[in-house]
Amino acid sequence: MPKSMIFFIIFIILSIFFYFFILPSGKPLQPPSLEYPLGTYLNGNNMINTNADAIVNTLIFGFIVGIIETTLALSFGYFSGISKRNIEIFMARVMDGVTALPRIPLLLAIALIYGTPTGNSLISNFFFVILIVALTGWSNYARQVSKTISENKIITISKELLPKFPFYLSLSLSSTSLKIFGKKIIIPAMVDGISTYTAMGVIAGVGDPSFPTLTTLLTTSSKLLPDWWLFLIPALLRAVLVVSLLYIADKVK
Amino acid sequence: MRILVWFSLFLLVLGILISWISTITQEFSVMDYGYGKIAFPPKYSQYYWSVLVAGPPRGEVIVNGTVIYKGIIEEVQFQKNQFYVYAVNGKIQPYADLSPLGLLLILLGTGLGLRSTALALQEKYVKESFEIEGKGLTTYLAKRSGNLISSLIVILIITILIEIKSGFTVIKAVQHLLTFNLGNGIYGVSVDSLLLTSLSFTDLLTGVSFILTVYLSTFLTLRAYSSKGYIYFIISRWKYIGNALSSWVIGIGLLYLGNFLSYHHPNFIFPVISLFFPYIGIFANKMLFSIQTIPREVIAKGLTREILMYKHVMGNLMLVTLSTISAAFVEMLIAEFLVESIFGWPGLGTLARISVDSGNMRTIEGILLFYSTLVLMSNAISDMVYGFLDPRVRK
């Protein structure tokens, strides 16, 4: 197991532990001290717990987006890859159309339709945002899957010769590619989900108060400049999280 | 080829100058007069009010030479019928409509400049002259135009669906889009006006950051590839640094630094650093690992270092850069949205933030449509320019 993976697992275990194990809270906005090693948050909560909550929520977001995007990319890409030329071209245009969408403004518009603006933020259900982020982010990966499958020589010949391409045959011919792609796509899709939610949070304050993420902590901190522990520690944790994920993704590739 | 280099430089300077001119603000008043018990404000929404820089326009009612009302623009009631003058005062950006032109010139100048500089260097060191080949150009242009149209149709359909969701009929929604008239947005100012005035500032920030990023990352990639020294080491790891310390994290970090140094008025420099710092490394990293290694048989020919570098490596690098430049531009535009909203830079990002926070759907729709058009146009222009200048891109 690569060192990056071991480090990542320890990081996650610690976050989950402090997600459930609640440390004593204190007065709001206490700087780091022996009693509160990472300080306290706006509501007086121990920053160790607040950061752990944020990491777990960020990962939940990334993980679900990753799963949905990977599933959509593999299934759409697979069906496009095994389809006859005309259908394949049509499906490719659909994928290109989704990729060309201006994702952030579109997501903001959808979040605004279903969310509640408060004057300085937009409250939007956490799971609803997961869904819309995932539904707009799969197409690029699907294009890669489709291209690889349609370039498989046996599939190309079978598509030309057989009037109807048997499903079980195409699936068995593509299974290795699909497995490899599944492993390759999932972590970049997670990072993509986290980054997109970050952009929505930073630009327009999109978030769900019941599920604060690292972005929520960082955007809140930009309004409380003297309280440095609200920024530095979540920024460092976000860096660790994103770099670990990217590093693992590179190792998987 | 040198003429093309100078021409692209001219386009860049002109683009930046036009963007800067479009940000100029000046005092402006629009007045109307009438007689009655209610004073009605004059039509003011269509002017380029610089609301993100100077705040929304304010109303002023004058009766018998005395100002009797000063405040938000609304109807003002009197006790009896009388003559009144209603003035709407504020600051406008009179040249805001130049902003799309500025952005397109910057994009065109950057791409053209990059390609022509590479060709000029190849001419100088490899003694190979450049000729434009027309083969396959028509098919390539037709294919690109087809892509542009299909993407535009998808975006128009989505915008129409959002309009319908906001309560408009299909006919009204189509009419709004065809006339590019999205009605009034925040502060009662027209959405078109809000978009153009904020685009001016986005232009200026994108222009400077994008030019610096593209030119310097290309230069760094070439240096890294040729020396494989410390520049190579830094660039090969910058992907992680750039992603971990993305533009908005650097932006907030700079806000903290400014606060620590008691500098509370972040200007143009802070947003430029926030955009430039991570992206130069990310682009250089992407390019560095996309260049194909020079084949052994080419090295075995005993060609000089200049020929290997300027013909093979640079040729390869240009192909990678040209095919990714519009994607890089779009990525930077998104990052700019984030940076703008952190620093309060009065561009499209800040406009998006204010519109979402105040629940103004019309302005968000406008941003969606405007941004999509810009991105698609920039993609189409860069594709066409590179297809014209480099036959390899057409494949």
> Could you give the strand order of the β-sheet that contains A206-207, starting from the edge strand earlier in sequence?
A116-117, A122-123, A206-207
What is the reported pLDDT for A113? 84
The pLDDT of B267-288, averaged and rounded, is 81
What is the reported pLDDT for A205? 82
Taking an 8 Å cut-off on Cβ atoms, the answer to whether A100 and B334 are in contact is no
pLDDT in tens, A119-131: 778 888 999 999 9
pLDDT band at residue B86 using 50, 70 and 90 as cut-offs: very high
**Looking at this predicted complex, what is its ipTM?**
0.73
pLDDT band at residue A110 using 50, 70 and 90 as cut-offs: confident
Q: Phi and psi of A37, rounded to 5°?
A: -55, -30
- Tokens at residue B382, please? 């860069």
- Tokens at residue A199, please? 């952009």
* Chain B: closest CA distance from residue A109 (Å): 6
Q: Is the pLDDT of residue B78 over 70?
A: yes
A62/B240: higher pLDDT: A62
Count how many pairs of residues, chain A against chain B, have C-beta atoms within 8 Å: 124
Question: Which amino acid is residue A152, in one-letter code?
Answer: N
Give the CA distances from residue B20 to residues A103, B196, B358, in Å, rounded to whole numbers and listed in that order: 28, 13, 29
Which 101-130 residues of chain A touch chain B by CB within 8 A?
101-102, 104-106, 108-113, 117-122
pLDDT band at residue B319 using 50, 70 and 90 as cut-offs: low
Q: The tokens 């579109």 sit on which residue? A: A106
Taking an 8 Å cut-off on Cβ atoms, the answer to whether A112 and B361 are in contact is yes
pLDDT band at residue B142 using 50, 70 and 90 as cut-offs: confident
Taking an 8 Å cut-off on Cβ atoms, the answer to whether B353 and A204 are in contact is yes
pLDDT in tens, A143-181: 888 888 887 777 777 766 666 666 666 666 677 777 888
Would you say A156 and A221 are in contact if contact means Cβ atoms under 8 Å apart? no
Ranking A124-138, B50-64, B135-149, B336-350 by mean pLDDT, the lowest is B135-149
What is the residue extent of each domain of chain B?
2-17+95-394, 28-92
Task: Provide, as residue numbers in chain B, all residues whose Cβ is less than 8 Å from the Cβ of A122.
Answer: 356-357
This prediction has a pTM of 0.80
What is the reported pLDDT for A96? 76
Work out whether the CA dihedral A214, A218, A221, A226 comes out positive or negative.
positive
Q: How far is Cα of residue B130 from the mean position of the Cα atoms in its chain?
A: 31
Which 59-98 residues of chain A touch chain B by CB within 8 A?
93, 96-98
Question: Whole-number mean pLDDT of chain A?
Answer: 84
CATH of range B2-17+95-394; options 2.30.40.10, 1.10.3720.10, 3.50.50.60, 3.40.50.300: 1.10.3720.10
What is the reported pLDDT for B394? 60
Quick count: other Cβ atoms within 10 Å of Cβ B177? Answer: 17
Q: Cα angle at B70 between B69 and B71, to 5 degrees?
A: 120
Q: Phi and psi of A45, rounded to 5°?
A: -65, 150
- Tokens at residue A115, please? 């969310």
Taking an 8 Å cut-off on Cβ atoms, the answer to whether B256 and A119 are in contact is no
Task: Provide, as residue numbers in chain B, all residues whose Cβ is less than 8 Å from the Cβ of A119.
Answer: 357-358
- Would an 8 Å CB–CB cutoff place A23 in contact with chain B? no
- Would an 8 Å CB–CB cutoff place B361 in contact with chain A? yes
Taking an 8 Å cut-off on Cβ atoms, the answer to whether B150 and A93 are in contact is yes
- Would an 8 Å CB–CB cutoff place A191 in contact with chain B? yes
Q: Is the pLDDT of residue A37 over 80?
A: yes
Among chain B residues, the shortest Cα distance to A247 is held by B240
The pLDDT of B333-359, averaged and rounded, is 86
Task: Provide, as residue numbers in chain A, all residues whose Cβ is less than 8 Å from the Cβ of B255.
Answer: 222, 225
The pLDDT of A105-132, averaged and rounded, is 87
B104/A70: higher pLDDT: A70
- Would an 8 Å CB–CB cutoff place B148 in contact with chain A? no
- Would an 8 Å CB–CB cutoff place A43 in contact with chain B? no
pLDDT in tens, A72-97: 999 998 888 888 778 888 888 788 77
What is the reported pLDDT for B13? 92
pLDDT in tens, B113-125: 777 777 777 776 6
What is the reported pLDDT for B291? 64
* Chain B: closest CA distance from residue A110 (Å): 8
Q: How far is Cα of residue A111 from the mean position of the Cα atoms in its chain?
A: 17
Taking an 8 Å cut-off on Cβ atoms, the answer to whether A102 and B356 are in contact is no
What is the reported pLDDT for B333? 82
- Would an 8 Å CB–CB cutoff place B364 in contact with chain A? yes
- Tokens at residue B208, please? 């400077």
Which 339-358 residues of chain B touch chain A by CB within 8 A?
341-342, 349, 352-353, 356-358
CB-based burial label for B206 (10 Å; 0-12, 13-18, 19+): buried
Secondary-structure breakdown of chain B: helix, strand, coil percentages, each rounded to the nearest 5? 70, 10, 20
Ranking B79-83, B265-269, B299-303 by mean pLDDT, the lowest is B299-303
Interface test with B, best of A103, A104, A228 (most B CBs within 10 A): A104
Taking an 8 Å cut-off on Cβ atoms, the answer to whether B358 and A93 are in contact is no
Task: Provide, as residue numbers in chain A, all residues whose Cβ is less than 8 Å from the Cβ of B361.
Answer: 109, 112-113
Task: Provide, as residue numbers in chain A, all residues whose Cβ is less than 8 Å from the Cβ of B372.
Answer: 101-102, 105
- Would an 8 Å CB–CB cutoff place B338 in contact with chain A? yes
* Chain B: closest CA distance from residue A8 (Å): 15
Taking an 8 Å cut-off on Cβ atoms, the answer to whether B243 and A117 are in contact is no
Taking an 8 Å cut-off on Cβ atoms, the answer to whether B353 and A247 are in contact is no
What is the reported pLDDT for B320? 67
- Tokens at residue B130, please? 């450049």
Q: Nearest CA to B184 among B346, B44, B354, B45?
A: B45
- Would an 8 Å CB–CB cutoff place A236 in contact with chain B? no
pLDDT band at residue A249 using 50, 70 and 90 as cut-offs: confident
The 3-state DSSP class for residue A211 equals coil
pLDDT band at residue A55 using 50, 70 and 90 as cut-offs: very high
Task: Specify the DSSP element, H or E, that contains A19.
Answer: helix A3-20
Q: Nearest CA to B110 among B206, B222, B196?
A: B206
* Chain B: closest CA distance from residue A244 (Å): 9
Task: Provide, as residue numbers in chain B, all residues whose Cβ is less than 8 Å from the Cβ of A232.
Answer: 256
* DSSP E strand stretches across chain A: 116-117, 122-123, 206-207
Q: Is the pLDDT of residue B268 over 60?
A: yes
Would you say A231 and B252 are in contact if contact means Cβ atoms under 8 Å apart? yes
What is the reported pLDDT for B214? 82
* Chain A: closest CA distance from residue B333 (Å): 11
pLDDT in tens, B146-161: 767 777 777 778 778 8
A203/B310: higher pLDDT: A203
Task: Provide, as residue numbers in chain B, all residues whose Cβ is less than 8 Å from the Cβ of A242.
Answer: 243-244
pLDDT band at residue B90 using 50, 70 and 90 as cut-offs: very high
Taking an 8 Å cut-off on Cβ atoms, the answer to whether B334 and A111 are in contact is no
What is the reported pLDDT for B16? 92
Residues 6+ apart with CB under 8 A from B75: B38, B39, B40, B41
Task: Provide, as residue numbers in chain B, all residues whose Cβ is less than 8 Å from the Cβ of A198.
Answer: 246, 248
Q: Which long-range contacts (CB under 8 A, 24 or more apart) does A35-41 make?
A: A38/A229, A38/A233, A39/A227, A39/A229, A39/A230, A39/A233, A41/A230
Residues of chain B with pLDDT > 70: what percent? 79
What is the reported pLDDT for A250? 78
Q: Is the pLDDT of residue B169 over 60?
A: yes
Give the CA distances from residue B294 to residues A158, B299, B310, B314, in Å, rounded to whole numbers and listed in that order: 37, 7, 12, 11
Task: Provide, as residue numbers in chain A, all residues whose Cβ is less than 8 Å from the Cβ of B166.
Answer: 113
Residues 6+ apart with CB under 8 A from B288: B221, B224, B225, B232, B235, B236
> What are chain A's domains?
49-252 (1.10.3720.10)
The pLDDT of A108-114, averaged and rounded, is 86
| Residues β-bridged to residue A40 | A46
Residues 6+ apart with CB under 8 A from B114: B214, B215, B218, B318, B321, B322, B325
